[in-house]
Amino acid sequence: MNGEGQAPGAVGLVGLAEPSIYARSRPGRRGVRPPAGFAPEVDVADALLGVRLREVPPGLPETSEPEVVRHFTRLSQLNYAVDTGFYPLGSCTMKHNPRIGEELAQLAGFARLHPAVPEEAAQGALELMWRLEEALCEISGMARATLQPAAGAQGELCGMLIVRAYHASRGEGRRKVIVPDSAHGTNPATAAMAGFEVVEVPSDARGGVDVGALSRALDGDTAALMLTNPNTLGLFDENIAEIARLTHEAGALLYYDGANANAILGVSRPGDMGFDIVHFNLHKTFSTPHGMGGPGAGPVAVRDFLAPFLPVPVVERRREGSRETFRFDWDRPQSIGRLRSHYGNFGVLVRAYAYIRALGAEGLRRVSEDAVLNANYLMRLVARDFDLPYDRLCKHEFVVSAKGLRERTGVRALDVAKRLLDFGYHPPTVYFPLIVEEAMMVEPTETETKETLDDFARALHAIAEEAAREPDRLREAPTRTPVRRLDEAGAARRPVVRYPAG
Amino acid sequence: MYYGPHTEEDRQAMLAFLGAETVEDLFADIPAELRLGRPLDLPEALDETALRRLFRGLAAKNADADRFVVFAGGGVADHYVPAAIAPLLARGEFLTAYTPYQPEVSQGTLAGIVEFQTMMCELTGLDVANASMYDGASATAEAALLALDQTKRSRILCPDTLPPDVRATIRTYLSGPGGEVDVVPCPEGSFTSERLQAALAARPGAYAAVVVGYPNYFGIVEDLAALCEVAHRAGALAIAYCDPIALGLLESPGALGADVAVGDGQPLGNAMSFGGPSFGFFAARDRFIRRMPGRIAGLTRDLSGREGSVLTLQTREQHIRRARATSNICTNNALNALAAAIYLALLGPAGLREVATACVQNAHAAMERLRAAGARPAFPGPFFKEWVVELPDPREDAVDRVLAVGLARGVVAGTPLAREYPALSRHLLVCVTEARTREEVERLAAVIEEAASS
């Protein structure tokens, strides 16, 4: 469209393509006008004497506001999103994002607040942070929390550095972190980034941690065990109390990856299970928008004895009679330091706190009940066509395998996923967890209707039948999307990661 | 409020299908002793009207930039945000999508990332950029880790003119691999090649990288070309921590020799939001592409030959490489990076240059005005949009007095420095962006005068 050498037409709703913004660029075209400044008399060359200024302007597009709005609107239309359809991407908790959170986060008192305003002029922000921390501690069964980490993986890094600092404070240099073979990739990556050696333990026949293997792996050099519970198979590890006992007996700490916390709200708390450190993904469990891959927030809650190691600053409350004031505490000599600038992804914290206040205790418990109900219901529907590697109750998500389908028809989980796109669904997470062949990890979430689940299962059933009848149809899928399967190998072999500028 | 759609009939039908009596049966795998057994102790649920009341009440206690004139800086600043950005970001197709794992239905996200990467390359004068990091500080820390990995050295050198939160973040990230950060004091407010040379010579072959603010924390434009050259002579990488607005006017860090350019994207169309979310940008020379952290989108073609884009070089990343990944980063700050792409498209090269120019002009005119009010600049050296003023009031609590008078007069007078720079206990970092007016600067001058005479 608009590009030379292309056929005319193919615009509006029939056009499923949108060239780069640079294709709309013409020399001299202008978009918005920034404020001109009040001091045109100041000579910039004088003011910046001795500084090398650009001779060649950066190659940014030269476009108008209507062109920019149209371009990005059209780009948006090429995306699948929770707002446009069912998005059962396992481990990502793609539930509806209440719009009240967007409205509240955009209040000027939050969105237009500079982080360096004096504390007395940010009491509302500090109070919100303090109350969110309090709520997260209650939900997790922990004593204190930091809201600083920007995402789950940064929360993990925060947690692992706390583990290190804790052992160091006791004069111990423990080097090993244990992760199960079903763990998210961020767990081993984080442990390595925090300077630990990663030891993997296998899962047992029921999908939980192999307790025998764990007890053999635990020793005086073990710093921590990182666990997700329910785990990435969507299964609650029934041996968690025993696992916690063994871990603590070895002098190690137990870390809770909160990616799957949507299953346990108000039902069971990581603190009661024996965990010492917990991170939450606010963009998952507390329903702040995923934004195509962020911003998220990954607060970390800890037991009392680990609180001194939390990042600086933490928010403290002071009470004088009925008057409460809030302030930052920077004076924490045992702190692991800072993970980023300022106090966290505050705008995300506002949304998450709004979500918690909207639902209350009863609502949060209902979230987990309905999430688990939806997952078990859908699991039983899907198990008619796909293998269930662990046939037991699941929690908020489940994993099925296309191994049998592959053996019968030659089509793979990837093909099933791609064909789902033609049926108008975002596919589940595929090929994860790594311990299940041809894995498909499905997380329906509590905000989906029974009708949607029924229809999704019917689509999967139709695809399984197609696989037997016309396997090539799956291998060629998708055909109804803006583009078809893309050459990923070619992209990696010869990376072209930018457009030519103008 | 509850957002689930189920009626009691739905629940009963689903439970019956599962052969369960109640939803409790579905939690039978959680041992009884691990159940909470009581409701969570949380405040009562609120409807939207009550939520609005509560949150507006909290918001009203904050000195926001709609009600106060903000002269605070130090990485976050009150810049102009074009009106078209918010409605585009609010589109559900951007807002409620996730990482583009299925490229066939994520071409909007992926094309937006490639556009963003292109713009970051253009601003920084470097070859490759990633899809975003959490913020400027964590981007810098990841750049330091890249340097450690690349050079097999274990120390990072930076001046104390690099923002303190950035230095602290590098230190935290380096504590994992056991790296060290050495900080060179720069009492004159900017880093010199002589100081750099001396610091590097004190530990020959030790430094993986030198990290320099461009402009630095005090607003001063460091002599980046000279610093890069000295760093390279010592076998260290040169990492520039940049204000992206300044890059509309200043020579790009790539052209001046930087190997990696990082920075915080708040000024590019993102709300201040009490310091987050914004995003970090990360751009580098080609040869580092396979060591870079984070998502990278690349162009390719589909089966029928149509151009499209995908996440690429994923073997660097945690979901493939696990313990051997270049970083653990997964979720980044994609929506904020998109805001920057929209911002830069709306402004174009001419608009960005105008913003940068207005920053310099406003800030320098304001500096003269405050000097006339007795608040002299603490450091020599050319500055971009912020500078350090020494308050005329000789009392030790001069800063608190100015801040307090400012709040009473609707002004956030600046960023205090004493916690990080004890020698600057009577000083403020003052930031004057393109969005400020002469009248607002007069108000700040009046605040400083009033505080000194009260």
- Is B90–A92 a contact, with Cβ atoms under 8 angstroms apart? no
Query: What is the residue-averaged pLDDT of chain A?
Result: 96
> Which residues of chain B carry a pLDDT beneath 50?
none
Q: Write out the two tokens for A65.
A: 């506001």
Segments forming the whole domain that contains residue A209 = 142-359
Residue with tokens 């809201």: A147
pLDDT at A83 over 90: yes
Are A349 and A378 found together in one domain?
no
DSSP notation for A472-495: HHHHT---SSSS--B-HHHHHHS-
| pLDDT tens digits, one per residue of A93-110 | 999 999 999 999 999 999
User: How far B185 CA sits from the closest chain A CA (Å)?
Assistant: 20
A394 part of a folded domain: yes
Scanning A25-54 for CB atoms below 8 A from B yields: 29-42, 44, 47-54
For A265-291, b/e burial (b = at least 16 CB within 10 A) is bbbbbbbbbbbbbbbbbbbbbbbbbbb
In a domain, A120, yes or no: no
Q: Which two tokens stand for residue B172?
A: 């935290």
At residue A2 the predicted structure's pLDDT band, cuts being 50, 70 and 90, is very low
Burial of A364 (0-12, 13-18, 19+ CB in 10 A): buried
Amino acid at A393: L
CA distance B341 to chain A (A): 9
Query: Cα(A382)–Cα(A152) distance, rounded to whole angstroms?
Result: 30
Interface check for B175 against chain A (CB to CB < 8 A): the answer is yes
Q: What per-residue confidence (pLDDT) applies to B319?
A: 85
Higher local confidence (pLDDT), A5 or B312:
B312
pLDDT at B324: 86
Q: Is residue B62 part of a domain?
A: no
Q: pLDDT tens digits, residue range A135-170?
A: 999 999 999 999 999 999 999 999 999 999 999 999
Residue A379: CB atoms within 10 A of its CB come to 24
**B327 and B220 within one domain:** yes
Instruction: Say whether both B381 and B414 belong to one domain.
Output: yes
**Same domain (yes/no): B359, B424:** yes
Domain co-membership, B76 together with B89: no
Among B52, B97, B345, beta carbon nearest to A68: B345
Q: Do A372 and A352 belong to one domain?
A: no
Q: Please calculate the CA angle B402-B406-B412 and round it to the nearest 5 degrees.
A: 105
Measured between alpha carbons, how far apart are the two ends of chain B, in Å?
51
Confidence of residue A1 (pLDDT cuts 50, 70, 90): very low
Residue A164 lies in a domain: yes
Determine which helix (DSSP H) or strand (DSSP E) holds A439, and give its type and residue range.
strand A439-442
- Asked whether residue B64 is domain-assigned, the answer is no
- Determine, yes or no, domain membership for B262: yes
CA–CA separation, B81 and B353 (whole Å)? 15
Phi, psi of A439, rounded to the nearest 5 degrees: -70, 145
Residue to test with chain A: of B88, B105, B162, B302, most A Cβ within 10 A: B105
Structure confidence by residue, pLDDT tens digits, A197-219: 999 999 999 999 999 999 999 99
Joined tokens for residue B60: 């009203």
Interface contact flag, B2 A363, Cβ < 8 Å: yes
The answer to whether B93 and A81 are in contact (CB under 8 A) is yes
Looking at the structure, tell me whether residues B221 and B367 fall in a common domain. no
The count of domains in chain A is: 3
**C-alpha span between A64 and A26 (Å, rounded):** 10
In this structure, which amino acid lies at residue B125? G
Whether the complex's predicted ipTM surpasses the cut of 0.95: yes
What pLDDT is recorded for position B374? 97
Q: For B82-141, give the DSSP string.
A: -TTHHHHHT-HHHHT--S-SSGGGBHHHHHHHHHHHHHHHHHHT-SEE-S-BS-HHHHHH
Mean pLDDT across chain B: 97
Sort out which chain B residues have CB atoms less than 8 A from A154's CB and list them. Answer: 134, 138, 329
Is A123 contained in some domain? no
Could you report the per-residue pLDDT of A372-428, keeping only the tens digit for each?
Answer: 999 999 999 999 999 999 999 999 999 999 999 999 999 999 999 999 999 999 999
Boundary-marking domain end, from B343, B363, B397: B343
B228 vs B448: CA distance, rounded Å? 39
Q: Does some domain include residue A422? A: yes
pLDDT at A277: 98
DSSP A209: B
Dihedral, B395, B400, B404, B410 alpha carbons, nearest 10: 110
Q: Are residues A352 and A376 in the same domain?
A: no
Instruction: Please give the share of chain A, as a percent, with pLDDT higher than 90.
Output: 96
Same domain for A304 and A206, yes or no, is yes
pTM of the model: 0.97
Q: Which residue among A77, A110, A130 closes a domain? A: A77
In the structure encoding, which two tokens stand for residue A283, read together? 């963009």
* Residue B212 within any structural domain of the chain: yes
**Hey, of B224, B346, B354, which one would you mutate to test binding to chain A, going by the most A CBs within 10 A of its CB?**
B346
pLDDT at B151: 98
- The CATH number covering residue B419 comes to 3.90.1150.10
Q: Quick check: is A86 in a domain? A: no
| Structure-block tokens of residue B41 | 């102790």
Tokens found for residue B182:
């050495």
Angle between helices B334-372 and B438-453 (to 10 degrees): 60
State the pLDDT at residue B426: 97
pLDDT computed for residue B280 by the predictor: 98
A123 to B61: CB separation less than 8 angstroms, yes or no: yes
Does B384 or A6 have the greater pLDDT score?
B384
- Parent domain of B221: 85-343
Say yes or no: B285 contacts chain A, CB-CB below 8 A.
no
Domain final residue pick, A77, A95, A116 = A77
* Residue A291, domain member (yes or no): yes
B337 and B356 belong to one structural domain: no
Helices A123-140 and A346-382, axial angle in degrees (round to 10): 30
Confidence class for position A7, pLDDT limits 50, 70, 90:
low
How confident is the model over A428-455, as a mean pLDDT?
97
Return the bridge partners of A318, or none: A325
CA distance B275 to B215: 19
- CB within 8 Å of A215: residues ≥ 6 apart: A246
Question: In this predicted structure, what is the pLDDT of residue A3?
Answer: 44
Q: Count of domains in chain B?
A: 3
Angle, in degrees to the nearest 10, between helices B8-18 and A346-382: 50
Indicate whether A368 and A462 sit together in one domain: yes
Could you tell me if residue A475 is inside a domain? Answer: yes
Q: How many CA atoms lie within 13 A of B239 on its CB side?
A: 32
User: How far apart are the C-alpha atoms of B190 and B160, rounded to whole Å?
Assistant: 9
Distance (Å) from the alpha carbon of B425 to chain A's nearest alpha carbon? 15
| B203 and B328 co-located in one domain | yes
